[in-house]
A and B are shown apart, each in its own frame.
Chain A
Amino acid sequence: SAVISQKPSRDICQRGTSLTIQCQVDSQVTMMFWYRQQPGQSLTLIATANQGSEATYESGFVIDKFPISRPNLTFSTLTVSNLSPEDSSIYLCSVDRQAGETQYFGPGTRLLVL
């Protein structure tokens, strides 16, 4: 398994600002994933964060809006830029120990944009 922490756990932001979410894992992992969960909806993968290279974004998500850093094998950040009320969601990071196998999720960051 893996122990994952996220900061902040929740935040309320004004439109036009940005929020950076941190994800810390208790041991080294190759892949880290960032998901968005809109209110009452399922999870949608935003991007896969690889250490030492640019993140791989899914269709509909762009680097300018969701820049990601992955400075080492235990840490990643997701920034949600130029916030609008439509960005109000839960953002979750996850890791897997083996590609395509079980993923372990952080507790999520609940974002409300006013």
Chain B
Amino acid sequence: SQQGEEDPQALSIQEGENATMNCSYKTSINNLQWYRQNSGRGLVHLILIRSNEREKHSGRLRVTLDTSKKSSSLLITASRAADTASYFCATVPSGGYNKLIFGAGTRLAVHP
């Protein structure tokens, strides 16, 4: 079953604007990961943040993690039309599991 929810379900912005997506989860985790999927194709890994980390950056991406609230956010700065995709958070539960549990995803549309 899915670990949690993402909001918004869909986001439409103009090029150059920032996009923020949020993810909530239910159980204790080892890490949380963000993936991108273009047009129903395979997923591309974006960033992994561990349970003892609070913030991580990769290029135009900024991820935060608040384990007390069981939530994470993904910020894409200066968005481009090529960022149009679905974005999923996925968690690895703590307790010896090595499987990913995916959130519902956010569909991002960036208009030129």
Residue ranges of A at the interface with B (Cβ–Cβ < 8 Å): 4, 31, 33, 37, 41-45, 48, 59, 90, 92, 94, 96, 99-108, 110
Question: A42 contacts B40, CB within 8 Å?
Answer: no
Using a CB–CB cutoff of 8 Å, the interface residues on chain B facing chain A are: 1-2, 30-31, 33, 35, 40-45, 48, 88, 90, 92, 97-105
A-B contacts, CB under 8 A, total: 58
Q: Taking CB as reference atom, which chain A residue is nearest B86?
A: A42
A33 to B103, CA, bound (A): 17
> Is the CB–CB distance between B42 and A102 below 8 Å?
no
A87 to B43, CA, bound (A): 20
Is A92 within 8 A of B98, CB to CB? Answer: no
Residues of A within 8 A of B40 (CB): 37, 90, 108, 110
Q: Which of A59, A92, A103 contacts B1 (CB 8 A)?
A: A59
User: Whole-angstrom distance between the alpha carbons of A100 and B30 in the complex?
Assistant: 8
B45 partner residues in chain A, CB cutoff 8 A: 102-104
Distance (Å) between the CB of B26 and the closest chain A CB? 15
Could you say which residues of chain A place their CB within 8 Å of the CB of B48? 101-102
Contacting residues, chain B, for A99 (C-beta < 8 A):
98
Residue of A nearest to B100 (CB): A103
- 17 further A-B pairs in the complex, CB-CB below 8 A; given A33-B100, A94-B43: A37-B40, A42-B88, A43-B43, A43-B90, A43-B100, A44-B1, A48-B99, A90-B40, A92-B42, A96-B98, A100-B92, A100-B97, A101-B48, A103-B33, A108-B40, A108-B41, A110-B40
